[in-house]
């Protein structure tokens, strides 16, 4: 079995609930390994280096790109985000089910470099609910929310590029379905 079939990518518009689903999965399914990305974004209150992200400055991010240490990377709403390559490859080589929570541009890069990976699109129940969740989170000023919603329109239009869509009405239900998809793709 190609080891990359153990890789699942979760993408979807900003505010749909990806991090919430990942946090629930971390709690309920510790057998799944969740990649920790590097970002140039500043930490939100409560975010810890090495837990939600590795926080880096532009110089360090440039170095990671140049040295080929990122499996994929993208600029999203004014910040850069990337997946450290080595930890992912090590987990896949060891047969560990592995999940990346990344944006559409990153998902496209993974599709090219690892075509056996399973790409899952997380969709909101409605566009109005997406806006409500993103604004309700209260972590970004209005201009950044607007940028993220603009990117969200592009992400929603790309849903067909993904293998499966899950609608995030209930976090527990999405986790349940995601785990089932991860099990079936790697069996
Ligand atoms: N099923 C759900 N029902 C209602 N609210 C939800 C649901 N899932 C997530 N939320 C809420 O929506 C908001 C956005 O969720 P979250 O931060 O997980 O989104 P995200 O997709 O990771 O966003 P980003 O891409 O900007 O990081 C949060 O306040 C979260 O509590
Ligand atoms: N291409 C990548 N996108 C990533 C990565 N890590 C996170 N993300 C995506 O960025 C946006 C914004 O995240 P936020 O934490 O600032 O709200 C969101 O869509 C994430 O999925 C990555 O390594 N590569």
Neighbours of 28 (CB within 10 A): 12
In this structure, CATH architecture of domain 2-186 = 3-Layer(aba) Sandwich (3.40)
Residue 50 backbone class (left: φ over 0; alpha: ψ -120 to 50; beta: rest): left
Pairwise CA distance, residues 17 & 72, whole Å: 22
Q: What is the pLDDT of residue 12?
A: 98
**Closest approach atom of ligand 1 to CA 20:** 18
Q: What is the pLDDT of residue 4?
A: 75
Q: What is the pLDDT of residue 185?
A: 82
Beta strands in 47-169 (DSSP E): 53-55, 70-76, 79-84, 98-101, 118-123, 164-167
**Domain range summary for the chain, segments of one domain joined by +:** 2-186
Which ligand sits closest to the CA of 101?
2
Q: What is the pLDDT of residue 5?
A: 74
**Closest approach atom of ligand 2 to CA 83:** 23
Largest CA distance in the chain: 47
Count each helix (H run) and each strand (E run) in the chain, helices first: 7, 9
Torsion angle, alpha carbons of 135, 102, 18, 24, to 10: -140
**pLDDT (tens place) for every residue of the chain, 187 residues total:** 567 779 999 999 999 999 999 999 999 999 999 999 999 999 999 999 999 999 999 999 999 999 999 999 999 999 999 999 999 999 999 999 999 999 999 999 999 999 999 999 999 999 999 999 999 999 999 999 999 999 999 999 999 999 999 999 999 999 999 999 999 887 7
Q: Is the CB of 37 under 6 A from ligand 1?
A: no
Q: Is the CB of 15 under 6 A from ligand 2?
A: no
Is 12 annotated as a binding-site member? yes
Distance from the CA of 101 to the center of ligand 2, in angstroms? 7
Q: What is the pLDDT of residue 24?
A: 96
Q: Is the CB of 15 under 6 A from ligand 1?
A: yes
ipTM of the complex: 0.99
Contact 96, 33 (CB under 8 A): yes
Taking alpha carbons only, the member of 24, 20, 23 closest to residue 124 is 20
10 burial type by CB count under 10 A (0-12 exposed, 13-18 middle, 19+ buried): buried
């Amino acid at each position: 079995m190609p080891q990359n079939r153990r890789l699942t990518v979760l993408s979807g518009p900003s505010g749909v609930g990806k991090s919430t689903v990942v946090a629930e999965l971390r709690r309920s399914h510790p057998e799944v390994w969740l990649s920790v990305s590097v970002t140039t974004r500043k930490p939100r209150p409560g975010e810890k280096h090495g837990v939600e992200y590795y926080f880096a400055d532009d110089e360090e991010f440039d170095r990671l790109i140049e040295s080929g240490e990122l499996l994929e990377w993208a600029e999203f709403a004014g910040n850069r985000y990337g997946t450290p390559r080595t930890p992912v490859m090590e987990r896949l080589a060891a047969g560990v089910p592995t999940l990346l929570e990344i944006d559409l541009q990153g998902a496209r890069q993974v599709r090219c470099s690892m075509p056996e990976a399973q790409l899952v699109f997380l969709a909101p129940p409605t566009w109005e609910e997406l806006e409500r969740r993103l604004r309700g989170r209260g972590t970004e000023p209005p201009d950044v929310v607007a940028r993220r919603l603009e990117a969200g329109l592009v992400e929603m239009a790309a849903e067909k590029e993904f293998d499966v869509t899950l609608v995030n009405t209930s976090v527990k239900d999405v986790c349940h379905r995601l785990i089932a998809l991860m099990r079936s793709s790697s069996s």
